[in-house]
Amino acid sequence: MRCIIDGRGLSDPQLDVARESAVRAGFAPGEIVVVTAAQPHLDDSLREYGLTILRFGSTLAEKTLDRVREAIHHHPRARLIYANSLVQTGSDASIVLRRVAWSPQRALVQDFLGPAVFVRPDVLSESQWELLRVLDVHALAVSLGFEGSDVVVHEDLAWSVVREYEQDQARDQSSMAHINEVLETRLPGWSVVPEDTSAGARVRRPVIEDALVSIVIPTRGTGGEVLGQEQVFVVEAVRSVLASSPDAHLEFVVVYDTATPKDVLDELRALAGDSLVLVEYTRPFNFSEKCNVGFVHSRGNYVLMLNDDVRVTSERFIEDLIAPLADQRVGVTGAFLVFEDGSIQHVGHWYAGRSPRHAMITQPAHQDGPRDVLLLDREASGLTAACVALRRETYREIGGFNEGLPSNYNDVDFSRKIATLGLSMVWVHSARGYHFESKTRIGTVHEWEHERLHARWLVQGSDPFWTHGS
């Protein structure tokens, strides 16, 4: 084992502190290698060793070498392991900065790996070794992430010490070029491009050609006053999709209750024309069953489940939701939804404790969010059924929505089933709309719904993709 200290840009006193921390971590002085601006590349002779790399001028926590060895034992297939950090809050006090689980879509834009990373050079390809030689750990992780879900791994222990939360978010612009080289071979047409936000970049994805998107909308044909106007929800949902994505190849499958007014159905026919499929639903309310009935009557190779009380506001809404599904690691995508007052309704589920919930719900939507979470596409533990897009074969493979959960938690169950396939759930920050949730039903969660959910899925103590609290 060797410890590599990235000393480029560090002063001599800073390098001394880093070396001392490596010794306290368990490395012998002869096992410590410092990379400097004068010697910016790793020597090929290091390829035979496991390498613990220290970045960003941080220091290693005490006994880190033992923790690294334990992690290697626990994750035998891992080629790159990253870990949490201790944040110094005083002379002797610190708190743990938890990092998210490996998130391939988020990693395209954000280096969240932290200062201390272990890499096995002996199992890297030549192109991956070249990335490591120049210490582009970020691009290396992106490349390795295409090789399996257990190749890049997060270890939930602290290996490094940082002085402030933002220290480990330094952005190396050269990584963008290296990541784009990886994408050129793995996902042709995808690229990471600069963006004038604190996130610094965004992912550009091509439109998926020849995609028929079936939009399944369960409805009762109800209306109400929103944004100062009386309207029928399902009609405006369809109208907003058509306005946002006029060039998309769409099919609208509207599953309507028998009591839906005839003039609502007539207006839908006038709006959507031949792209409309109307399916009457005659049974007592069961949201999950209505979604599944709509799926059976759909034809698209992509399916978007959409609540009738969602109003699309962004351009290219459909295209932005469908594009990430070209990456076969992605199982389902969801949108950035806000309440009528503009506060956050959905930016991903947060699973911690007994009751699943929405992260950042009712908080202001016009913010970057902790660690720029509102500025980038990223993995989540779950997504709201109000708006989820997925490949047809994925919906079929998981068996659709659980009809034993007719009202609440069906989307949590849906998300958990996606996860069992080894696929990710990706929240797409650029796909935006209103969700007038409180206008269409009164949300009441029953104890039997809790019990049924927990009988199927273990309660998580903490959410691996959301580390910021509420």
Q: What is the average pLDDT value for the chain, to the nearest integer? A: 94
3-state secondary structure (DSSP) of residue 15:
helix
Of residues 51 and 469, the one with the higher pLDDT is: 51
Quick: pLDDT tens for 243-274. 999 999 999 999 999 999 999 999 999 999 99
pLDDT band at 450 (very low <50, low <70, confident <90, very high): confident
pLDDT band at 167 (very low <50, low <70, confident <90, very high): very low
Contact 461, 352 (CB under 8 A): yes
Q: What is the pLDDT of residue 163?
A: 78
Cα 92 to chain centroid, rounded: 35
Average pLDDT in the 140-156 region? 97
Helix (H) or strand (E) holding 67: helix 64-74
Cα–Cα distance for residue pair 317/306, rounded to 1 Å: 12
Average pLDDT in the 123-127 region? 97
pLDDT band at 46 (very low <50, low <70, confident <90, very high): very high
Quick: pLDDT tens for 357-384. 999 999 999 999 999 999 999 999 999 9
> Which CATH code for domain 2-204?
3.90.550
Look up tokens 């699973």; give the residue: 351
Model confidence at 439: pLDDT above 80: no
Q: What is the pLDDT of residue 445?
A: 86
Overall fold of domain 212-456 = Spore Coat Polysaccharide Biosynthesis Protein SpsA; Chain A (3.90.550)
pLDDT band at 393 (very low <50, low <70, confident <90, very high): very high
Structure tokens at 257: 């209750």
pLDDT band at 339 (very low <50, low <70, confident <90, very high): very high
Tell if the pTM clears 0.85, that is, is over it: yes
Domain boundaries defined on the chain = 2-204, 212-456
Average pLDDT in the 134-161 region? 97
Q: What is the pLDDT of residue 164?
A: 67
Cα–Cα distance for residue pair 345/340, rounded to 1 Å: 9
Average pLDDT in the 304-312 region? 98
Q: What is the pLDDT of residue 468?
A: 87
Model confidence at 172: pLDDT above 80: no
DSSP category for residue 318: H
| Range in 70-84, 218-232, 427-441 the model is least confident about | 427-441
Inter-helix orientation angle 173-186/137-144, to 10°: 20
Q: Of the candidates 176, 193, 82, 186, which has an alpha carbon nearest to the alpha carbon of residue 136?
A: 176
Are 2-204 and 212-456 the same fold in CATH?
Answer: yes
Q: What is the pLDDT of residue 90?
A: 73
